[in-house]
């Protein structure tokens, strides 16, 4: 499914680049130039993306002397999972939450909020950390980083199209006719929506897999289930989170209405479904 997702992203990016190139009369050479620029931008974002995610969420790297229990738990779970110990960050936010980011297990980080550290008991905290370590071990962090980069690219290309058609002058509008403008506007609107829906469908499966892997790692699924219950009950709004990085958190950091459309566009599967699956193990 991940390969299918990236093929869809490539097709959307290629189509957007082709329409932009056609608008300026660049042909295949113009399309290739836009895709080359996109590739360079993606590589740059891929290697620096995890730092950006940590920065925009106000995560600060901490020392073992400041959080000895947190470090000991991460070290023990990392050894059990067979991966290097990730860097540890803390976010000064009273809402309980956590996320993992990075390119691979050798370049990975875990960030937890101060609210999580204050509210969770030892086994609950270990359940959350095991979930994030499972994301690292399963290379979900690489997948999510790449997806965020590609969705960002599609957003940039779509925005360029809309601005060109509404504010631009000249181009090939007089020669290509209104069909190019209509096609470009329609595709610029629906492309990000399609990319987001496909990405959400696969991301939710990875959350369930990380929950199951965490249960195997700790041999105590109830710990993560209890942690998710506390996160679900928390009414403290998270102020440090960013909309673009919301999918990396263990639970949606933003409160949403429980209806069909909010669930359709949610970055996470329903938290009660995850709890039921864990308690059934």
Q: Which positions are annotated as active-site residues?
A: 132
Which residues fall within 8 angstroms of residue 259, CB to CB, at 6 or more apart? none
Contacts 24+ apart (CB under 8 A), 173-179: 173/23, 175/25, 176/22, 176/23
Residue 90 backbone dihedrals phi, psi, to 5 degrees: -125, 135
Cβ-based neighbour number of residue 217 at 10 Å: 21
CA 67 vs. chain centroid, Å, equals: 26
Inter-residue contact 38 to 153 (CB < 8 Å): yes
Distance between CA 170 and CA 186 in Å, rounded?
Answer: 20
Q: Cβ(38)–Cβ(30) under 8 Å?
A: no
Tokens of 10: 């490539």
Residue 81 three-state SS: helix
């Amino acid at each position: 499914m991940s390969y299918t997702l990236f093929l869809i992203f490539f097709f959307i990016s290629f189509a957007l680049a082709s329409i932009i190139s056609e608008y300026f009369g660049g042909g295949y050479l113009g399309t290739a130039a836009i895709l080359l620029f996109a590739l360079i931008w993606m590589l740059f974002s891929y290697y620096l993306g995890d730092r950006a995610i940590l920065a925009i969420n106000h995560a600060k790297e901490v020392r073992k002397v400041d959080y000895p229990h947190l470090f000991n738990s991460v070290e023990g779970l990392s050894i059990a999972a067979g991966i290097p110990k990730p860097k540890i960050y803390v976010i000064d936010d009273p809402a309980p939450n956590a996320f993992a980011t990075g390119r691979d297990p050798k370049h990975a980080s875990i960030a937890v909020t101060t609210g999580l550290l204050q509210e969770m008991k030892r086994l609950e905290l270990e359940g959350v950390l095991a979930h994030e370590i499972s994301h690292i071990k399963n290379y979900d962090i690489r997948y999510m980083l790449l997806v965020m980069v590609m969705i960002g690219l599609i957003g940039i290309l779509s925005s360029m199209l809309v601005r060109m058609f509404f504010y631009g002058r000249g181009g090939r509008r007089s020669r290509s006719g209104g069909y190019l403008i209509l096609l470009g506007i329609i595709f610029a609107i629906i492309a990000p929506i399609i990319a987001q829906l496909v990405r959400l469908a696969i991301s939710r499966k990875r959350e369930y897999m990380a929950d199951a892997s965490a249960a195997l790692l700790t041999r105590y699924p109830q710990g993560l289930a209890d942690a998710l219950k506390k996160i679900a009950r928390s009414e403290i709004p998270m102020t440090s989170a960013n909309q673009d990085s919301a999918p990396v958190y263990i639970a949606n950091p933003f409160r949403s209405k429980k209806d069909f459309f909010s669930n359709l566009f949610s970055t996470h599967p329903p938290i009660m479904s995850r709890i039921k699956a864990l308690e059934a193990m």
